[in-house]
Structure 1
């Protein structure tokens, strides 16, 4: 079997780094924050072995892909356009698109807007949510003492300055803190653990504790890879995705109310903090109404946010079953 093939393609006006393995029907893999193509390291070889062409992307602003400076260059329309551009550059007519974390909304909207190019969609962690009626940032929780992490990310330069002081520590701690391993540990006072609210006077460091030991699914080598990537790129590109949340709400107005019309699979961890965000219960309960060809919603017991890294065997099994059903 061939090894990973790294290449850079020009797509949607930027240079995008892709990692490929295998031949056959294309499966396009979109990562989230703060990750890279490497988050799919357990899926790429399996997809290739099962007769698929795995294409993992360093998304706009990450890894070896270009990272435009302007905030407005990171809208959902840019991100979906990048995925179409990758298919065009690789001469792929259709693909199944798979996304995790921020990559999940990209995958959902790619399927929503271009069902002619995406024959199926798999989303990990984040269910499809209809367009908000108001700017999402106006609904984010906040108090006098703390704010929702996505609000903390809004002011350019603030989160970057904190995170980039110790890149490796941030990567290590966020991967541990949002995992099922940390989420299963009891808090000191017995109250539910919350890691999505940032103290106004403490920053992210106050809610991302050092792990006593690494979870079994995460190695020092994994952390080193991510840290090396972000030490080179910084975090502005990835954070700019969050700074377009309100702009996306405006740009997606023409598509309000559309259903996703291709077959879909949703996978999430039982202990994923995202499933406990405001509005997620309703999004999960009504997912089949908005995605009428939803084949399955799989909730993995004990799993946290980093679905395909924490539970590669279960994710791989469900992914291959879904792809085989599509024929």
Structure 2
């Protein structure tokens, strides 16, 4: 019988984390950390596969999401707080180390676990968002923007214009997503389009247009992209985001200075010595690691780095699960054979 995916909660004095788990409780742990605006179910294609391969697979709802704690201050969503959440989660299993896998905003959390708590890592894996040792913040990624595609006169922040919009118009940004949450989820969760390569990302237009969705103040009603989501997945995302709202998810973008200050406290000067796997999304034109210099700091600071290109858009684990799972399994077998021998 396949391992079931089960729901759990761990509570500490400072935080409650709800999480999904799959696999033998005594098996080596892989923690899968989702990003914006996702849930633990974002890893639904990975949990049962790696459970059958011999791991205890864990996927938490990050703070502000799902059934985990929701907070009322922007500062509560600084990456340092999520790092503490995840270390407490690992402690609750009675484990010293795990393999950590992140995507989107889950990636900076994983990178900071690796750079601040390398003793808690067998190895780390990130999808789409590369390592920036100074912290994932505009001051560190703006110098890496492709200015042939994003002239500074037209796109001062390149494809990252949307991040500045949160800081300048936070209530309007959140209100646009909340105006019709179901339509927001359908509009956001779409597969990658190879034709977008070489064209400015839609995220570069957010400030010019006065907000998301062409400044319309609400998402359009588009068909669900069944290559990314089923109707059941859509319903789960919608229900969770309607219940909690977008204040928490959007607040992750409001802590750039705090995240930079935390990155400065990394051990070993931010160098990562453990095995690292990075999966490039070939059709992700916002986190563009293929056509810009965005991945250069990662290559300098990760001494045992494996890179794989996945023919996918940003929602890689959901759009291209077979390719993601194959790359992760190969890396585990070759780089972490002391942890797992298939």
Distance of 1:67 and 1:115 partners within structure 2: 28
User: Which runs of 5 or more residues in structure 1 are unaligned?
Assistant: none
1:148 equivalent among 157, 161, 179: 161
Contact 1:29 1:54 in 2 (8 A): yes
How many angstroms does 1:134 deviate by?
A: 8.9
Taking structure 1 as the reference length, the TM-score comes to: 0.88
Shift of 1:91: 1.7
Deviation at 1:275, TM superposition (A): 3.5
Whether the 8 Å contact between 1:105 and 1:128 is mirrored in structure 2 is yes
In the alignment, the residues of structure 2 paired with residue 134 and residue 170 of structure 1 have an alpha-carbon distance, to the nearest angstrom, of: 25
1:70 maps to which residue?
73
Distance 1:138 1:315 in 2: 25
Does structure 2 retain, via aligned residues, the 8 Å contact 1:11–1:82? no
1:292 Cα shift? 0.3
The answer to whether the Cα contact below 8 Å between 2:110 and 2:124 also exists between their aligned partners in 1 is yes
- Output the CA distance in 1 between the equivalents of 2:274 and 2:249: 28
Give 1:279-294 correspondences, 5 Å limit.
281-294=292-305
2:196 touches 2:283 (CA, 8 Å); kept in 1? Answer: no
Please state how far the C-alpha of 1:172 moved relative to its aligned partner. 0.8
Map 1:150-299 onto structure 2 (within 5 A): 150-154=163-167, 155-176=169-190, 179-180=191-192, 183-185=193-195, 192-197=199-204, 198-206=206-214, 211=222, 214-255=225-266, 257-276=269-288, 281-294=292-305, 296-299=306-309
2:332 aligned with 1:323: yes
Unaligned runs of 5+ in 2: 146-151, 338-342
Further displaced range: 204-213 or 67-76: 204-213
Shift of 1:209: 5.9
| 2:88 aligned residue (60, 82, 85) | 85
Q: Secondary structure at the match of 2:307?
A: strand
1:5-28 Cα distance to aligned partner (Å, 9 max, x none): 111101471110011010210000
Q: Name which of 100, 120, 125 aligns with 1:122.
A: 125
* SS at structure 1 position matched to 2:31: strand
On the 8 A contact 1:12/1:81 being kept in 2, the answer is: no
The answer to whether 1:6 aligns with 2:14 is: no
Q: Distance in 1 between matches of 2:58 and 2:308?
A: 23
Residue 39 (str. 1) matches residue 47 (str. 2): no
Give distance in 2, aligned partners of 1:27 and 1:90. 12
| CA deviation profile, 1:101-123 (whole Å, cap 9, x unmatched) | 11111111101111111110000
User: Structure 2-normalised TM-score?
Assistant: 0.84
Q: Could you give the per-residue CA deviations for residues 236-284 of structure 1, whole angstroms, max 9, x where no partner exists?
A: 111111100122112322338420111010002101123438x983342
SS at match of 2:189: helix
2:124–2:276 CA contact under 8 A, matched in 1: yes
| 1:16 lines up with 2:17 in the alignment | yes
1:101 is aligned to 104
Counterpart Cα distance in 1 of 2:239 and 2:52: 29
Q: Figure out how many residues of one structure are paired with residues of the other and give that number.
A: 317
Distance 1:143 1:282 in 2: 20
In structure 2, C-alpha distance between the alignment counterparts of 1:317 and 1:144, rounded to whole Å: 37
How has the CA–CA distance of structure 1 residues 165 and 137 changed in structure 2, closer, same or farther, with 3 Å as cutoff?
A: farther
